[in-house]
Chains A and B, each alone.
Chain A
Amino acid sequence: MLLTLALAPLTALVLCTAPRQITAPRQITAPRIGAGAPPPRQAPDDEVERLFRAATQGRAVVRPQAARRLVELGARGEARLLEEAGPDGVGLAALGPPILEALGAARSAELRALLWSTLQQADFPWRPSSARALAERPKASEAARFVPLLSDALGEVRAAAAEGLMRSHGPLPPLRQALEDEDERVRRAAAVALVRAGDRRPLWLLAEELVREDRWFERPSGQAARILAARALERLGVDLHDLDPSAEPATPASRAAHAALAADLTAELGPRPVLLPQQRAGSSRPARLGLELRSCREGELWLRWTAGDQLLVGQGNPVALDLPAGTTARLEELLANGLEAIGTQRMFGTPGCDLEQLLLRGARSETLLLVKGPEPVPGLRPEALSRAWSALAASLPEETGLDGTDPRLRDLRARALRILASLGGPVEPAGTEQPR
């Protein structure tokens, strides 16, 4: 197994949120934003520099803490960050997610303006961090700026926008619309935001999450969702009647707790509303192969192909689309051949914010990872896999007839191709026929 992190610190292992290569602090001589002339360079502030180094070059686990303390220093720390960001904010990308997220507590109007500007840049690699920072302590005057972010390509940005909209006392209708989002993180954030804003009906959505039983292959995604929903409901002061969200929903104790909670909600809010497919709890749906696609610029997509030739789109309660008979078996064969051709290596690239993961759980069990940062990496996906990936893409319907009703199917193939292109590289859809 080849890993390309030989130079990385031993313990700096969680990498998705932090670029591995942090450029050395730049010497900025351009005027600061809002300043008429370059400020005189002051003597180095040891504490500021120590925290700055720890926030940008320290262990992954240390960076968020150092970044927060740097910002908490107030004007001293903020001046250092402004200097590093540069007048146009270009330097913000090199500072990395921990510092960006800590900027949510900054008092500097210039830093806040720079954060907003990063959200307007489609190529800025850490837009979720910028959005979370801005949503932490938003001003009422910023409420309207969060509304368009609820339609962002990135679920993490949309979820942060929901929180920002609530905290800035923005309009509620966009939040209600966000309850229909395809991404469970966005729906959960919108539900919590609405409840905190006084509309308690979305408690039903959080309660529905408590009965999820779905899995993403080996990962108990339903259990994770139950735990997050339970924590959210507890923070909202809802009595869970001793529910253990780790336990399966079908246990007698879980059932009793769900029933008691449902009775409470019915008494307070009226009958349980009809939920949309993406809002409903899902069950376990075994699949033979899957693609987990996470692009820090184009968004995310979860696709599975079942033994019964169905395409499952999304997590939780996925959309199931019928595929031509034999599709999954042919894809499996192509993938098996491709994996055999590349030998034993199963991870390619250098960890960053992008992930393309193939899971094969049929006749053979294989996991293949392509990982990278925001920059394109030509040739990341091995050529030997091209044919299989083309067939995977071709199996995605161009038109489902449901595009208008289920957000998970909107422009499915086009979206998948965009995300794939931003990850392992462009994919040209082509059929699954075997060569003669």
Chain B
Amino acid sequence: MRAVLLTLASLLAPLTSPSEVLAPEPTMDRNTSPEAAEEPIDVSIDWLTSLDYRRGMRLPDEILALDGQEVRISGYMAIGTLEGADVFELVPESCECGRSKVQHFIEVTLSEDRVRFMPGRIELTGKFSVGEVEEDGFVVSLYRLEVKALP
């Protein structure tokens, strides 16, 4: 996982030399090419949701580094998503049997759209945020993504 960490770290530090980046990811261009400055970071939902999470723990640096970043991520609307809402849960598989914990989904908020259920895999790009959000003493989200509209 260190490669991921280093790659992300390079994205967040514009002065980082490309030679310090281990993998030749497209995101390297972000350090050197102004045209590519808006390119979002590709993130695997399986990587995020397979985290061994416990309440209050410090999240891995490579995940914290994504906070506030523009990311591109693919997954499925949780089955049972309510149409017409402005929020839904993005999950790694079309059925999430056995996975209902807070680290198992990304809470997606639509700023200029309303939910219409899409049964296939969707790709979303938006601003990502990381961290525990609590309501009534319970953690209700760990990962959030703000996007304008559904594809």
Docked CA distance A183–B135 (Å): 37
Q: Which residues of B contact A367 (CB under 8 A)?
A: 119-120
Flag the segment in A237-245, A263-271, A306-314 that touches B: A237-245
Chain B residue at smallest Cβ distance from A9? B82
Given A10-B85, A65-B138: A218 and B119 within 8 A (CB)?
no
Chain B 9-38 interface mask (CB, 8 Å, partner A; 1/0): 000000000000011110000000000000
Please state if A8 and B105 are interface contacts (CB–CB under 8 Å).
Answer: no
| Contact between B88 and A13, CB atoms less than 8 A apart | yes
Contact A16 B97 (CB under 8 A): yes
Q: Looking at the complex, which one of B25, B98, B100, B140 makes contact with A128 (CB distance below 8 Å)?
A: B98
Q: Which residue of B lies closest to A231 (CB)?
A: B50
Q: Does A161 contact B (CB under 8 A)?
A: no
Q: Say whether B116 contacts A242, CB under 8 Å.
A: no
Query: Is A8 in contact with B82, judged by CB distance below 8 angstroms?
Result: yes
In chain A, positions 78-103 with a C-beta closer than 8 Å to chain B are 97-98
Residue of B nearest to A359 (CB): B120
With a CB–CB cut-off of 8 A, which chain A residues contact B100? 14, 16-18, 60-61, 63-64, 97-98
B91: chain A residues within 8 A (beta carbon): 14
Cα of A268 to Cα of B23 in the assembled complex, Å: 28
Q: Taking the complex as formed, is A147 at the interface, i.e. its CB lies under 8 A from any CB of chain B?
A: no
A195 contacts the other chain (Cβ, under 8 Å)?
A: no
Q: Which residues of B contact A296 (CB under 8 A)?
A: 97
Which residues 174-222 of A sit at the B interface, judged by CB distance below 8 A? 217-220
Q: Is the CB of B22 within 8 A of A227?
A: no
The one of B3, B88, B96 that contacts A17, using a Cβ cutoff of 8 Å: B96
Question: Of A230, A253, A292, which is within 8 A of B22 by CB?
Answer: A253
Collect the chain A residues with CB atoms within 8 Å of residue B2's CB: 242
Query: A residues engaging B (CB < 8 A)?
Result: 1, 3, 5-6, 8, 10-18, 20, 54, 58-66, 97-98, 128-129, 132, 156, 217-220, 223-224, 227-228, 230-231, 234-235, 240, 242-247, 251-253, 257, 292, 294, 296, 346-347, 351, 353, 355, 357, 365, 367-369, 371
